[in-house]
Amino acid sequence: MVKYELPKLPYAYDALEPNIDAKTMEIHHTKHHQAYTNGLNTALEGLSSELQNMELTKLLSAIEKVPESARGAINFHGGGYDNHTLFWNNMKANGGGTPGGRVDDAIKSVFGSFDAFKEKFAKDTTAIQGSGWGWLTYNPKSNKVEFITMPNQTSPRTKGLVPLLGLDVWEHAYYLKYQNRRADYVTAWWNVVNWDEIEKRLSKAK
Ligand code: MN
């Protein structure tokens, strides 16, 4: 059986300062992402070898194949593992700005303009009740991008969507620096978005 390991961050803990502080990044990575990694490995132990050996992204897309007794744990810890891996890589130092190429075209065709997309993404993600994520996704059925919010760690893959850009709004992602000011965290986060990575994800998904 594959044992998942905590993936390395593609940059230093302080790389996203001042938008996301180093202490938050360190705890988020070494404690929270590690806990999802451990939880995923434990949940996989109870599955058939066929499911154990499935790529995690495929397993999340086929979550209904997981026996009910383990489904909640795979959904939560497997989603948490995948979501955070995507999250670290959809940020970078000196990121932000506007997307180019296919992502720009895809966003404009659905949302009208980049600013309209940003406004919807920020508003609806900030408004999530409790813990969850905001996502720009690609829907292979419609060949269009879609915005969606997901509760807790449930992956957009469980709805047949390919995650492109994710924003974690669990309190653990921002509370040390922003306390209850989630909207300020969301505003600052745009400065670290890695649009080149989103372009790669969209090209791979199409
Ligand atoms: Mn998190």
Question: What 3-state class would DSSP assign to 33?
Answer: helix
pLDDT of 40: 98
DSSP 65-120: GS-HHHHHHIIIIIHHHHHHHHHHHTB-TT--S---HHHHHHHHHHHSSHHHHHHH
Given a cut of 90, whether residue 24 has pLDDT beyond it is: yes
Distance 23 CA to ligand 1 centre (A): 14
Distance 41 CA to ligand 1 centre (A): 18
Angle between helices 101-111 and 195-205 (to 10 degrees): 80
Distance 136 CA to ligand 1 centre (A): 17
Distance 152 CA to ligand 1 centre (A): 9
Which tens digits make up the pLDDT trace of 155-196? 999 999 999 999 999 999 999 999 999 999 999 999 999 999
Q: Mean pLDDT, to the nearest integer, of 118-133?
A: 98
Distance 112 CA to ligand 1 centre (A): 30
Angle between helices 114-126 and 101-111 (to 10 degrees): 70
The residues spanned by each domain of the chain are 22-90, 101-205
Distance 168 CA to ligand 1 centre (A): 6
Given a cut of 90, whether residue 143 has pLDDT beyond it is: yes
pTM of the model: 0.97
Give the integer Cα–Cα distance in Å for 124 and 47. Answer: 36
pLDDT band at 104 (very low <50, low <70, confident <90, very high): very high
Distance 28 CA to ligand 1 centre (A): 6
The CATH number of 101-205 is 3.55.40.20
Distance 62 CA to ligand 1 centre (A): 23
pLDDT of 56: 98
Given a cut of 90, whether residue 12 has pLDDT beyond it is: yes
Distance 157 CA to ligand 1 centre (A): 17
Distance 107 CA to ligand 1 centre (A): 25
CATH class of 22-90: mainly alpha
Distance 89 CA to ligand 1 centre (A): 13
- Reported for 101-110, long-range contacts at CB under 8 A and 24+ positions apart, including other chains, are 101/199, 102/199, 102/202, 102/203, 102/206, 103/145, 103/164, 103/195, 103/198, 103/199, 103/202, 106/138, 106/144, 106/145, 106/202, 107/136, 107/145, 109/144, 110/144, 110/145, 110/146
Which tens digits make up the pLDDT trace of 47-88? 999 999 999 999 999 999 999 999 999 999 999 999 999 999
pLDDT of 2: 83
pLDDT of 1: 78
Averaged pLDDT score across all residues of the chain? 97
Distance 94 CA to ligand 1 centre (A): 21
Q: Mean pLDDT, to the nearest integer, of 91-100?
A: 96
Given a cut of 90, whether residue 149 has pLDDT beyond it is: yes
Distance 39 CA to ligand 1 centre (A): 14
